[in-house]
Amino acid sequence: MISSFVTAAANAIRAGFDGVELHGANGYILEQSLNPHINNRTDIYGGNIENRCRLLLDIIREISKVIGAEKVGVRVSPYSTLGDIPAYNAEETDQTYAYLASELNHLGIAYIHISDSPAIPEKTHQQIRSNFTNTLIYCNGLTPETAAAKISDGSADLVAFGRSFLANPDFVKRIEKNAPFNDVDYMSLYTPGEQGYTNYAILP
């Protein structure tokens, strides 16, 4: 598992990427590891917070040896229940992400990418911000206005948009020109071919 991530990261650099983001969110294997209700392991990768964070941190440590920590980012989704991830004790959740932020800071990675939700208490945001000095990216439910406000107040360095970019290839230009946005065609999110993929309207 760990070595496959390392090879994959090296492959990514070989393919011309500027870096890699580890998906530690949305219920996939790295978040499965973080969660005490899914991770029932009795080895060094299960048990307390440190052990449940170990898989993600070991992968990053090993990847960093090969491509450099400055080319690694991590996405997290505290308090998310996507992918049948059961919620767990709030204090323990906060401690998990505070610990992760501090360890990731120590490892010197490029960024933490937070999949935001109203379920995340302000305290968690503040702990991540204060424990991690490098770049913070915020994502989920942002509008250009709320995103600009997050940059202004210092809570985010960068702001990410999903569906807005999906439906508006020229999303940045549309913000600049105050042009209307295309709607997302939900029927073609995952269908093969160009329909609903490369054929969204672009401003002249």
Partner 1 sequence: MKQLFSSYTKGVLQLKNRVVMAPMTRSRALNNLPNELMATYYKQRSGAGLIITEGTSPSPEGLGYPRIPGIYSDAQVDGWKMVTKAVHEGGAKIFLQLMHTGRIAHIANLPEGYHPVGISDIKAAGEIFTDKEGMQEHAVPKVWILTESSI
Binding window for partner 1 (CB under 8 A); candidates: 15-23, 87-95, 99-107, 119-127: 15-23
Among the listed residues 28, 45, 88, 200, the single catalytic one is 28
Kindly state the smallest distance separating residue 90's Cβ from partner 1, in Å.
22
Q: Distance (Å, rounded) from C-alpha 108 to C-alpha 110?
A: 7
Kindly state the smallest distance separating residue 102's Cβ from partner 1, in Å.
19
CB within 8 A of 194, min separation 6: which ones?
A: none
- Catalytic annotation present for 186: no
**Which residues from 138-157 bind partner 1, rule CB under 8 A?**
139, 144-145, 147-148, 151-152, 157
Cβ density class 19-51: b for 16+ within 10 Å, e for less: bbbbbbbebeebbbbbbbebbeeeeebbeebeb
Q: Is residue 113 near partner 1 by the rule CB under 8 A? A: yes
Q: Distance (Å, rounded) from C-alpha 89 to C-alpha 168?
A: 39
**Which residues from 90-109 bind partner 1, rule CB under 8 A?**
none
Q: Distance (Å, rounded) from C-alpha 144 to C-alpha 176?
A: 10
Kindly state the smallest distance separating residue 6's Cβ from partner 1, in Å.
9
Binding window for partner 1 (CB under 8 A); candidates: 92-100, 120-128, 163-171: 163-171
Nearer to partner 1 by Cβ, of 79 and 161: the residue is 161
Nearer to partner 1 by Cβ, of 70 and 123: the residue is 70
Mask: binding to partner 1, 33-72, rule CB under 8 A, as x and -? x---xxxxx-xxxx--------x--x-----------xx-
Instruction: Identify residue 18 by its one-letter amino acid code.
Output: D
CA dihedral (105, 107, 111, 113) positive or negative: negative
Binding window for partner 1 (CB under 8 A); candidates: 95-103, 122-130, 187-195: 187-195
Q: Distance (Å, rounded) from C-alpha 95 to C-alpha 39?
A: 17
